[in-house]
């Protein structure tokens, strides 16, 4: 790394942004959180405290260390002021390109020249934000998985102009957060994890459509023969069918390939409000 990381700004105080910020604070970094809707702050802190208390109860952190982490975590009402002293900025705002571009225009103008700018987006490659940021070489994807406090993987995706120093800085930061980062050397719709997950889901849907096996038996095969923790239909319900459909829509918009088009059965479930676990019904019914 060209210089040590000491201060981190996380943009977005939703479920992902707040957990990413907590990870940074737990790892010893002075961490600020900014959200365009300050009302998010009131809900974020008690949820984080409840999560961290459970982690302390399980022995993952000492109570004193957890309290010290909360002392390093703060919420700000000024994006520009927080960005001005940040060594790394991680954007975790809503998955809308116009919103993200506006954020990166402001970050590019406010963050110091050495600062690394990263987007947590799971669908939008950082090259879409390069011009807005004005510093494509200091920009990449740093994609955490939900729940960020627990999931080990972080996808680091470089755009064509991302410097080696930026990549190494983000990989090392992920390791200090206790994660196991993977590097995508070039941008591709869906990155690594979503492409692997999508391939399994497509085959599972094809097996179901052709009458080869039931949802339950396809899931059971994935668990008992392939040692997957969840079957593909269970996983879709867990992730959220709206999220699954959104990822497919984003990939299809990027490639235009018929094989990337959203599955009509998934789209139909979403239109019915059957989103999986979070709505109580998806491929399965949840009490």
260-276 pLDDT, tens digit per residue, is: 899 999 999 999 999 99
Using the Cα atoms of residue 87, residue 117, residue 24 and residue 175 in order, give the sign of their dihedral.
Answer: negative
What angle in degrees, to the nearest 10, is found between the helix axes of 241-255 and 193-209?
A: 110
* Tokens at 122, concatenated: 């799971």
Q: What is the pLDDT of residue 99?
A: 96
3-19 pLDDT, tens digit per residue, is: 799 999 999 999 999 99
pLDDT band at 283 (very low <50, low <70, confident <90, very high): very high
pTM for the full predicted model: 0.91
Q: What is the pLDDT of residue 9?
A: 98
Q: CA-CA distances (angstroms) from residue 254 to 23, 144, 258, 261?
A: 32, 21, 11, 10
**Domain-terminating residue out of 184, 211, 236:** 184
78-97 pLDDT, tens digit per residue, is: 999 999 999 999 999 999 99
Q: What is the pLDDT of residue 254?
A: 85
**Domain-terminating residue out of 133, 152, 184:** 184
Cβ(123)–Cβ(250) below 8 Å: yes
Q: What is the pLDDT of residue 2?
A: 61
146-205 pLDDT, tens digit per residue, is: 899 999 999 999 999 999 999 999 999 999 999 999 999 999 988 999 999 999 999 999
CATH number, domain at 259? 1.10.1040.10
The better pLDDT of the pair 33, 95 is held by 33
> 173 with 236, same domain?
no
Annotate 132-172 with DSSP letters as a single string.
Answer: HHT-GGGEEEEEE-SSTTT--EEEEEE-TT--HHHHHHHHH
Phi first, then psi, for residue 270 (nearest 5°) are -60, -45
> 111 with 216, same domain?
no
Q: What is the pLDDT of residue 269?
A: 98
Catalytic residues: 122, 143, 155, 194
Residue in 22, 5, 164, 2 with CA at minimum distance from that of residue 92: 22
Instruction: Show the domain range for 169.
Output: 7-184
- Considering the domain boundaries, does residue 286 fall inside one? no
Residue in 176, 181, 239, 180 with CA at minimum distance from that of residue 23: 176
- As a whole number of Å, the CA-based R_g of the chain is 20
Q: Average pLDDT in the 89-115 region?
A: 96
With a cut of 70, say whether residue 1 has pLDDT above it: no
> 68 with 160, same domain?
yes
> 119 with 258, same domain?
no
198-241 pLDDT, tens digit per residue, is: 999 999 999 999 999 999 999 999 999 999 999 999 999 999 99
How far is it, in rounded angstroms, from Cα 220 to Cα 68?
A: 44
Number of structural domains found in the chain: 2
> 235 with 180, same domain?
no
């Amino acid at each position: 790394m060209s210089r040590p990381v000491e201060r981190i700004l996380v943009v977005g105080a939703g479920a992902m942004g707040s957990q990413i910020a907590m990870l940074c604070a737990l790892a010893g970094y002075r961490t600020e959180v900014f959200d365009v809707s300050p009302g998010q702050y009131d809900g974020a802190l008690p949820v984080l405290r409840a999560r961290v208390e459970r982690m302390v109860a399980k022995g993952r952190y000492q109570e004193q260390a957890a309290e010290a982490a909360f002392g390093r975590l703060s919420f700000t009402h000024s994006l520009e002021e927080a960005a001005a002293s940040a060594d790394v900025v991680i954007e975790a705002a809503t998955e809308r390109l116009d919103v993200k571009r506006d954020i990166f225009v402001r970050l590019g103008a406010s963050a110091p020249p050495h600062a690394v700018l990263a987007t947590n987006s799971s669908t939008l490659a950082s090259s879409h934000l390069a011009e807005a940021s004005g510093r494509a070489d200091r920009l990449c994807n740093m994609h955490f998985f939900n729940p960020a406090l627990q999931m080990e993987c972080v996808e680091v995706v470089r755009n064509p102009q991302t410097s080696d120093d930026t990549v190494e800085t983000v990989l090392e930061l992920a390791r200090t957060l206790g994660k196991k980062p993977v590097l995508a050397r070039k941008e591709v719709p869906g990155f690594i994890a979503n492409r692997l997950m999508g391939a399994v889901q497509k085959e599972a849907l094809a097996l179901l459509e052709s009458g080869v096996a039931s949802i339950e038996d396809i899931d059971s095969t994935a668990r008992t023969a392939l040692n997957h923790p969840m079957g593909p239909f269970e996983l879709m319900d867990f992730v959220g069918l709206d999220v699954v459909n959104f990822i497919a829509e984003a990939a299809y918009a990027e490639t235009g390939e018929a094989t990337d088009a959203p599955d009509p059965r998934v789209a139909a479930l979403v239109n019915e409000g059957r989103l999986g676990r979070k709505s109580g019904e998806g491929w399965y019914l949840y009490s």
